[in-house]
Amino acid sequence: MRLEELTWPDFEEVKRRVGTVVIPVGSVEAHGKHLPLGTDVFAPVEIARRVEERLRRRGVEVLTAPPVWYGHTFVLDVYPGTINVSGDAFKAYVREIMREFAAEGFRRIVLLNGHGGNYPPLVLAAEEVSEEFPGVEIWLINWWIDFREDILSICSSQGHAGQDETSVMLAVRPELVKMENARGGRRSSRVRVIRKDIGKELFPDGVNDDPSLATAEKGEAILSVVSEKIARLLVGE
């Protein structure tokens, strides 16, 4: 059930029987020379769609909200096409969206996040909303971290625009993936270094992993295990 497709009387009726809203959250940012700028939104939107489908088969309903497209992406802002929102503005914006859902009566808000830079502001936003609405529970899911073990049983490596993310995109929007440009390697630093142009070092060309072994089959396997596990968590299995 997609929020944006309902009328307000439909919504009023839905919120009486559905307690969970799922909000995909992403980022518009550079993902190498081979993946589209919207990768971090396409992935969680597809996971949300599959979670809802799996829950429907179990007779459980959730409401899926439109995604938050723009995120906080300091590190990748060194590349063209990255549209970075400051951490403060992003935190406040997502907090206001969650407050509205809490005030409408939703008791569980699931932030299905597709982008690492969003994580710190999302935690702060969630804490503020839960202070204000004690009966409300917020789940913050980072699919590539929370299900890392499963992903690494499918892919030999993972990372930004890497094997896992590229595989998922090959499964979701293959026409947007330019595999002939898919190259890169793993970079890391011993401590967290924050500097305006650090992205050029840590994410050369906007990549931090080798994406060349990505396949649609791996992407399909990731989407399947991640959506099944989220669906199980939501029904308390």
Q: Residue numbers of the site for Zn ion (CB under 5 A)?
A: 39-40
CB of 229 to Zn ion, least distance (A): 20
Distances (CA, A) of 34 to 162, 183, 206, 222: 10, 8, 10, 19
Tell me whether residue 54 or residue 160 sits nearer to Zn ion (CB atom). 160
CB of 82 to Zn ion, least distance (A): 11
| Helix segments in 35-146, DSSP class H | 39-57, 87-104, 119-132, 143-146
Tell me whether residue 20 or residue 166 sits nearer to Zn ion (CB atom). 166
Nearest to 149 by CA among 57, 226, 55, 46: 226
CB of 39 to Zn ion, least distance (A): 5
Residues ≥6 apart with Cβ < 8 Å to 196: 78
Residue with smallest beta-carbon separation from Zn ion: 40
Please compute, for residue 26, the number of CA atoms within 13 A of its CA located in the half-sphere on the CB side. 23
CB of 27 to Zn ion, least distance (A): 7
Sequence length of the chain is 237
Tell me whether residue 39 or residue 158 sits nearer to Zn ion (CB atom). 39
CB of 98 to Zn ion, least distance (A): 22
**115 and 40 in contact (C-beta within 8 Å)?**
yes
Tell me whether residue 60 or residue 176 sits nearer to Zn ion (CB atom). 176
The CA dihedral of 93, 120, 124, 194, to the nearest 10 degrees, is: -90
